[in-house]
Structure 1
Amino acid sequence: MSPSAPVEPLPNEPWDVLIFGTGLKQSLLACALSRANKKVLQLDHNSYYGSSETCFAHLLECDEWVSQVNSSSSPPLPFSHARIWRDESHFPTSDGYKAWRGYTLTLAPNVVYWHDRFLEVLRNAEMTGVFVWQAVGAWWVYEEERREEEKREGDGSSEAAVLGEVMAGAAVKIAKAGMKVKAGWNKGRAKKMVEEGGSAAPWTQVGVNSTAASSTTEMAPASIAASTTTLRTKPPAHEDIAWDPSLTDTHRTTLASFLRYLQSHSTTTPPPPSTTLYGFLATAFPLPPRLISHIHALTLLPTSPSETLLSLALPRLSTHFSSLGKIPDARSASALLISYGGAGEMCQVFSRAAAVAGAVNALARGVTSLSPSPTEEGKWEATLSTNEKVTASWVVGGRWDLPSSAPSMDNVRSGMKKMARGIYIIDHPLEVLLNPKYADERITPGGCVLTVFEEKNGMPVYILAKASSPGECPTGKSLLYAGMLLSQETEVEERSEEIEKAYLVLDNSVKKVLDRVSAAQSPSSLSPTEQQSEIHPSNLIPGIIYKLLYTQYGHPPTSPSTTMSSTSPTFSDSSNNVITISDLPLDLSLQGEILIEEVLRVYENILGLGRGEGVEGFLMVGEEARRLMREMEGE
């Protein structure tokens, strides 16, 4: 969340495209159109870049944002019920807010899969090096221990701990090898470690002596276990599924069959559209509920397994497994993070790139009215909050940026869902969750994903944990981003009680994870050397020292075909040259296929290209712009 410069008069000239909002889609579009030699003016009524995907570079900015969200006089925002709690002993105000610095909190936490189309577009445009990437390590699932009578029923809980590793291992074995990939995603960090004689810490099981464990190249997955609860990880392994002794013969065969189906599902006759993931697996590939929950956790879809459509789940599972083993120096990872603010960082980078290509960016300027130009036929005139008037042939904006009277805005806010979100600062590095899985991995993950299923309705609470390495919190601290979809639609009168209960679920989910980490780092689970060390981070008890809770409005994830249909609420008719584009969906996965397709369609409409004709030149930059970019980057 970068502060705006003093408001200066805009250039008095006609524009090809007027873009309202600096969210990820608007900024990506501004960059692409500017590089296609269109005159672009990008405005935002906020005083910061990123719109609803912004990031805060100082905790004081969080306070300002909360006041803005809760103010009745503020422009409409896709947020409500924002609040902050902080431990005053960690964040005093008497020292000039020094402790409040060093944090970057994002409103749009996302992971990007290695085989995601967004990353493919960045590679083609030679823009991957603009960002600093971090690997996403383990994928954890929190489980309540079952009663003894449930265990005797043989519902597969003994296999739950190894489900992820078996499926991932089989996927790696099945996937085609030999794909050449660029290793530039980690910005040379692996090379630097080798030059300095360093190496990544080996993966060790919780409670196993670290010296003994380091002698093995590939370690078994860890289970953070206690007498009543378990936090299980699902890292990839290379054991053949046929030789894994932890699975029954029936479940081993069933999982292998499902993986084969997953590879070829796009060429087979699809099940009925209403088929759910749970219903499909329970019938076509009979698996117990717990194993189905583990499979569902890999989709990152915010609905419960019984509500998640199979048509949404299968492509995500395919992307997850096909990405395993492909990331250089982090072969156990399937996804990446962008450092320094995630989506908020991307918004600023693309807006700056648009400016380099000739666009003009201006903050603290909203649009108060939009109407056909009285003097220029076929153009639109926008009156801004600064009383300036600008004209353009095309107008593009986010749903929260265009005035409600603008064409194509009818019913654009209908059908939205609510998601309860929480950002937690933890006074602990949580290294037991973030260690590399294999001793030969030279990159320590910058984050991991945890899933806690809500007890009453089975809704997943996804938690993205981030270490200090992405540059978003000080050393010794970590960040947890938690989110849970609420079932209540926004057309119905808001119920604060429902939101309060959701916040309580988020708090409890985070506390469950921290309790397991604390139990795993008890003196009995540490090596003798660690037990004697008073400064070892494992001797610290993880605790919440700050949290930002808020509710976000938006659309849940959809499939690319649904999103790009003519009736989709995320893409409006462009016959009048006014286009409304959506915010990012309420999703932890970036889903670049949907993101790129929507932006590409707008790009092609404005350039007068046919469907698919804009793919080849999308985001490509001319030589002069390349020179300016190199100068800005100090090359």
Structure 2
Amino acid sequence: MLDLNTLDGSSWDVVISGTGLAQAILALALSRSGKKILHIDKNDYYGGPEAAFSLQEAEEWVNKVEQVPNSMPFESASISRPTLLDGEKSQLSFARAYTLSLSPQLLFSQSKFLPSLVSSKVYRQLEFQAVGSWWVCRHGADSESDSQSTKLQRVPSSREDVFTDESMSMKSKRSLMKLLRHFLQQGQDGDVEPDQELDQEMLFQEFLQTKYRIPQELFDPLLSLSLSFKSIDKTHSTHALPNIKRHLGSIGVFGPGFGAVLAKWGGGAEFSQAACRACAVGGGIYALGRGIKSVDVISDDSEGEQLHIHLTDDESVKSKYVVGSAWDLPQQIQKERELPYSRLTRAIMVVNSPLDMLFPPTSENGPIPAGAVVTVPSAKGGPPTYLLIHSSDTGECPTSQCIIYGYVLLPADEGRTMLESAVDNLLKSTDANAKIIWSANFTQLGRLEDEKVADNELKGIHDQTFVFPAPELDLAFEDGLIDQVKEVWKAILGSEADESGFLKFDDREGMVDEEEPSENM
């Protein structure tokens, strides 16, 4: 029987390091396999790069990013609070009134991630809310007064939106309707252009101009639907078009007038914790505050080749397999990375206004959304800035406030300036009295959408070690993550793996997966 006060000398089938989304989904997939699973995390919280924090926890996290460089896929982190005048009180509520997510990504109804949440029954532990309107916020000179003005435009993404948009000319409407009709007729089979061969190098701007004669005024709205972090003249059609198809094909599946949702109470952290709870119910053992220092390969006549794993608390365990992310495993068992990581400048901002105008009903009989997407084009032709706005209905902040999650593909200093400018322009166009009352700025390291991960890249330097890549830098949950988890799951189970049963579970008899993972070690 395992001594719950120590792990030293224990043996396992699988040791999973880190509780990020990929590791948590793998733990879920293995939860009913009968394998002995030890799931550890060097941090004292769940979620890894998908974690969610209170205000105090967020500030502790920022300090850790700065004090322990290269320990996670984040860098250049800082906190900013407004200077208070004498006698002025902060408008921030108590620390636990906030849940700030490192992973507030969108989940589309056409996402590959969704069926796995349903078939594994994890969705029952989650609460989803609608992400409603897409907006473009432009800032520039007013032609009549020569003054600087900000204009907020709702992005049309359905026939109804196009017909009711009074800002577009009839010519623009006809061109846009032709493009939307083309996407909707293609269905969701994943092909970009089934009826005509598309040049793999064709840029999105060229596609719009040459194939559909889309006027320039619609470039920014269409780029926003593609969720590309690059400018339209650097975005490839092969990446933009499937994303727009996903957006259009998702509308109406969950409810009228919207196609994406967010997870209440903390985004990706909710997915990770729900998956870890399911593994704990299946017998998995959890231990926070313990990482892996080194791994040795040993030969044991009775059990064959095993891994000797040295933990950061100076204990050691044995296991047949070790799995983790690049930031949760020692470099000694990882293959050398060929390409540098891309860097995305991000911000989490608390605003002292609900910004209600960004959350109109999704349709005449639709729900009031809890999320909105705002794209702020660069005035100099650079990459766009994206702002995900979460209302207090998400449970992430008090009533009468909202959270803005900002993203821009620029270096840290330049990116932070761009994010501040974008939010300033948005607030001017929605609520002139609104102010940022707290913000965290940081850089995330990861992969862009054109950097795919081959199955053979998931292995470490040993056949029994597996390394999940850095997360894809995206505003929506990465579809490829499920495929990565499946490959590792198949390798661990070997001949026992039945692909048709991957993440497909029947209800447990007389049991509901709502227990917290054990942390008593």
Match of 1:379, SS state, is strand
Match of 2:335, SS state, is coil
Tell me the distance in 1 between the aligned counterparts of 2:159 and 2:64.
51
Q: 1:446-465, aligned counterparts within 5 Å?
A: 446-465=370-389
Cα distance change of structure 1 residues 602 and 68 upon mapping to structure 2, 3 Å threshold: same
Question: 8 Å contact 2:17–2:328 — kept in the other structure?
Answer: yes
Letter in 2 for 1:359: G
Tell me the distance in 2 between the aligned counterparts of 1:357 and 1:61.
30
Cα distance change of structure 1 residues 457 and 13 upon mapping to structure 2, 3 Å threshold: same
Tell me the distance in 1 between the aligned counterparts of 2:83 and 2:443.
24
Letter in 1 for 2:109: W
Match of 2:368, SS state, is coil
Tell me the distance in 1 between the aligned counterparts of 2:501 and 2:461.
22
Q: Does 1:545 align with 2:437?
A: yes
Q: Does 1:61 align with 2:57?
A: yes
Letter in 2 for 1:388: E
Match of 2:320, SS state, is strand
Unaligned runs of 5+ in 2: 187-191
Q: Does 1:278 align with 2:200?
A: no
Q: 1:408-419, aligned counterparts within 5 Å?
A: 408-411=334-337, 414-419=339-344
Percent identity, aligned pairs only? 30
Give deviations 1:375-430, integer Å, cap 9, x for gaps: 35321111000111111111111010110111x43226x42111110000000111
The CA RMSD measured in Å over matched residues stands at 2.9
Match of 1:476 in 2: 400
- Report how far residue 551 of structure 1 moved: 1.0
Q: Does 1:299 align with 2:294?
A: no
Match of 2:490 in 1: 604
Give deviations 1:29-75, integer Å, cap 9, x for gaps: 0111122222211111111111121110x211122111111115x66
Letter in 1 for 2:464: N
Match of 2:45 in 1: 48
Question: 8 Å contact 2:125–2:514 — kept in the other structure?
Answer: no
- Report how far residue 619 of structure 1 moved: 4.5
Tell me the distance in 1 between the aligned counterparts of 2:299 and 2:465.
17
Match of 2:246 among 319, 330, 354: 319
Tell me the distance in 1 between the aligned counterparts of 2:362 and 2:204.
29
- Report how far residue 119 of structure 1 moved: 1.2
Give deviations 1:73-116, integer Å, cap 9, x for gaps: x66222111111123659x9999x96223000011220100121
Give deviations 1:479-513, integer Å, cap 9, x for gaps: 00001112xxxxxxxxxxx4212101100100100
Letter in 2 for 1:616: G
Match of 2:189 in 1: none
Match of 1:100 in 2: 95
Tell me the distance in 2 between the aligned counterparts of 1:254 and 1:269.
19
Tell me the distance in 2 between the aligned counterparts of 1:89 and 1:619.
54
Match of 1:261 among 169, 182, 197: 182
Q: 1:77-88, aligned counterparts within 5 Å?
A: 77-87=72-82
Tell me the distance in 1 between the aligned counterparts of 2:83 and 2:162.
51
Question: 8 Å contact 1:52–1:583 — kept in the other structure?
Answer: no
TM-score normalized with structure 1 length = 0.73
Q: Does 1:360 align with 2:285?
A: yes
Moved more, 414-423 or 368-377: 368-377
Match of 2:365 among 440, 463, 470: 440
Cα distance change of structure 1 residues 133 and 456 upon mapping to structure 2, 3 Å threshold: same
Match of 1:129 in 2: 124
- Report how far residue 466 of structure 1 moved: 0.4
Cα distance change of structure 1 residues 503 and 240 upon mapping to structure 2, 3 Å threshold: closer
Question: 8 Å contact 1:19–1:395 — kept in the other structure?
Answer: yes
Match of 1:466 in 2: 390
Match of 1:380 among 297, 302, 307: 307
Match of 2:274 among 326, 332, 349: 349
Tell me the distance in 2 between the aligned counterparts of 1:136 and 1:420.
23
- Report how far residue 573 of structure 1 moved: 6.2
TM-score normalized with structure 2 length = 0.89
Letter in 2 for 1:62: A
Tell me the distance in 1 between the aligned counterparts of 2:360 and 2:164.
26
Match of 1:469, SS state, is helix
- Report how far residue 554 of structure 1 moved: 1.0
Unaligned runs of 5+ in 1: 1-6, 150-225, 487-497, 520-540
Letter in 2 for 1:618: L
Tell me the distance in 2 between the aligned counterparts of 1:433 and 1:244.
16
Match of 2:415 in 1: 502
Match of 2:508 in 1: 623
Cα distance change of structure 1 residues 439 and 566 upon mapping to structure 2, 3 Å threshold: closer
Question: 8 Å contact 2:130–2:258 — kept in the other structure?
Answer: yes
Give deviations 1:162-208, integer Å, cap 9, x for gaps: xxxxxxxxxxxxxxxxxxxxxxxxxxxxxxxxxxxxxxxxxxxxxxx
- Report how far residue 478 of structure 1 moved: 0.4
Cα distance change of structure 1 residues 630 and 382 upon mapping to structure 2, 3 Å threshold: closer
Cα distance change of structure 1 residues 249 and 514 upon mapping to structure 2, 3 Å threshold: closer
Match of 1:426 in 2: 351
Moved more, 299-308 or 367-376: 367-376
Query: When the two structures are aligned, how many residues end up with a matched partner?
Result: 502
Tell me the distance in 1 between the aligned counterparts of 2:40 and 2:515.
25
Tell me the distance in 1 between the aligned counterparts of 2:105 and 2:477.
6
Tell me the distance in 1 between the aligned counterparts of 2:160 and 2:372.
22
Letter in 2 for 1:614: E
Tell me the distance in 2 between the aligned counterparts of 1:243 and 1:349.
41
Give deviations 1:255-306, integer Å, cap 9, x for gaps: 2332243242453344122111112112112222231221110111211111
Q: Does 1:563 align with 2:455?
A: no
- Report how far residue 622 of structure 1 moved: 6.0
Tell me the distance in 1 between the aligned counterparts of 2:272 and 2:58.
18
- Report how far residue 621 of structure 1 moved: 4.8
Q: 1:508-587, aligned counterparts within 5 Å?
A: 508-518=421-431, 541-558=433-450, 563-566=452-455, 571-572=458-459, 576-587=463-474
Tell me the distance in 1 between the aligned counterparts of 2:250 and 2:166.
26
- Report how far residue 628 of structure 1 moved: 4.7
Tell me the distance in 2 between the aligned counterparts of 1:353 and 1:274.
44
- Report how far residue 324 of structure 1 moved: 0.8
Tell me the distance in 1 between the aligned counterparts of 2:389 and 2:165.
30
- Report how far residue 590 of structure 1 moved: 0.8
Match of 1:18 among 7, 15, 19: 15
Tell me the distance in 1 between the aligned counterparts of 2:24 and 2:505.
15
Match of 1:294, SS state, is helix
- Report how far residue 362 of structure 1 moved: 0.8
Tell me the distance in 2 between the aligned counterparts of 1:276 and 1:139.
23
Q: Does 1:143 align with 2:67?
A: no
Question: 8 Å contact 1:80–1:552 — kept in the other structure?
Answer: yes
Tell me the distance in 1 between the aligned counterparts of 2:402 and 2:163.
39
Letter in 2 for 1:459: P
Match of 2:476 in 1: 589
Tell me the distance in 2 between the aligned counterparts of 1:133 and 1:349.
14
Cα distance change of structure 1 residues 623 and 348 upon mapping to structure 2, 3 Å threshold: closer
Question: 8 Å contact 2:350–2:436 — kept in the other structure?
Answer: yes
Tell me the distance in 2 between the aligned counterparts of 1:236 and 1:310.
18
Tell me the distance in 2 between the aligned counterparts of 1:16 and 1:473.
41
- Please identify which structure carries the higher strand content: 2
